[in-house]
Every structure is written in C-alpha cells, then in structure tokens.
Structure 1
Amino acid sequence: MSDEHPEDDGYSGRATLVVGEREFAVTVELRGHFQPIDGYYRWYGRVAADQGLSELLGGRKAKAVLRTPGGESPGELSDPDPWDRYRIMGTSTPPFVVQTTVDTMDAADAADA
C-alpha cells in the first residue's frame, strides 16, 4: 500500500518479467486501484533499469507477463524514462496481493486497544 494514497494497493521488490521467450529477474515498483467508472482494476508501475531488457526492446512497447511472490499477470511495457526504467501496466487481476477487506474497529474495541 502507498503511504501517499492509502486506498491504493501495491508491491515493491523482486519479480520475474517474461517478454516473448526471455525471462528477466527485475525489481519493480507497482501500484494499483479499482476504477469504479468502468469496473476494472488497473495496476501500473516501473521496472528498474535492466540492460538485457533495454537491448531486447530498444524503447519499443511489448506485451509481457509479470510474476511476483503474490501472483502473475499479463501487462504491457512502454515508454522508458530517462533512467531506462520501463513503465508497465495492466488491467484486471494484478501480479500482487490486493487488500479485499477493510480493517475496522468499533468504539469498544478502540477503547480496549
């Protein structure tokens, strides 16, 4: 979860990125949120710079599969930033665990805490 946007879900850490027949061990920074207007969950983030990935893509868009300890999901790589970190985004089930319940405390529980 993000401190800046507590309603957002996310993941930071090691992942496996599959592009075509190639696999890359990468580090990712991901976020996501449910979009009530169209009913889809949208996830997005950046893949840390990786020389092999940059050589393969050369700045072009590509379909990919991202795997983290929390799951696997197809996505699209696009627009590397000036530090050669590719943007990744996807729709629907994200490659990380999403909080599905809200932890609430009633007044009695809060007084006991």
Structure 2
Amino acid sequence: MDDDEEYRGPAVLTIGDVGHPVEVRLSARFEPVEGRFRWAGRTGPDDLLRERVSAGLREASLTIGKTIEVRLSEPDPWGGVRLTGTGTPPWFA
C-alpha cells in the first residue's frame, strides 16, 4: 500500500458545531468501476464519542487538512468508532 493510501494520526471530528479531537487510522482504495475513492478506518478509544454513537449519532465531518462528511458506525470492543467515507480522502493533498 502506498503512503498516500493510508493515514494514521490526529484529526478533528465535528459533531454539529463542536470540534472533537481524535486519533484515527484510515486507509483508502480507488474503485475504478465507480470512478471514486472509498475509505474507512477507526478512531482510537474515546469515551465521549463512543457514548454519542451508541446513542444513535451516525453523521459527522472529519478534518485532516480538509473537511469531508463521514459516516459513523457502532463502537468496537476497544472503544473506537468505525468511520467510512467516499470521494477524495481528507488527507490527500
């Protein structure tokens, strides 16, 4: 996997108007049939985020250089939350 296809590090997850700093691990792949990127990964353990997602939160914005809409999924056993998105990943220059 190329370095550009993966990102590990700090990000800001914006829920409503409030930015929440998180650590993320994300990877991307280009889908030639669709003509777009799909990317996904997880946040590090975060009690506040885990509680919000468990209560039904599913949409947010993720900022890593640029801001993009992201879908949130159920927390994992370690307290992280799955993130998925389409289009150019936010860590691409």
TM range (shorter): 0.7 to 0.9
The answer to whether structure 1 residue 47 and structure 2 residue 43 are counterparts is yes
Match of 2:84?
A: 89
Shift of 1:97: 1.4
Q: 1:76 aligns with which of 58, 71, 75?
A: 71
Tell me which stretches of 4 or more aligned residues in structure 1 moved more than 4 Å: none
- For structure 2, the 5+ residue unaligned runs are none
How many residues end up aligned between the 2 structures? Answer: 93
More strand by share: 2
Q: Please report the TM-score for the alignment, with normalisation by the length of structure 2.
A: 0.86
Q: Please report the TM-score for the alignment, with normalisation by the length of structure 1.
A: 0.72
Distance 1:79 1:36, change over 3 A: same
Q: Equivalent pairs: percent with the same residue? A: 37
CA distance in 2, matches of 1:13, 1:22: 20
Larger Rg: 1
CA distance in 1, matches of 2:45, 2:75: 9
Instruction: State the Cα RMSD in Å.
Output: 1.9
Shift of 1:83: 0.6
Which has the larger displacement, 17-26 or 30-39?
17-26
* Relative contact order, higher structure (CA 8 A, sep 6+): 2
8 Å CA contact 1:62–1:77 kept in 2: the answer is yes
- For structure 1, the 5+ residue unaligned runs are 99-113
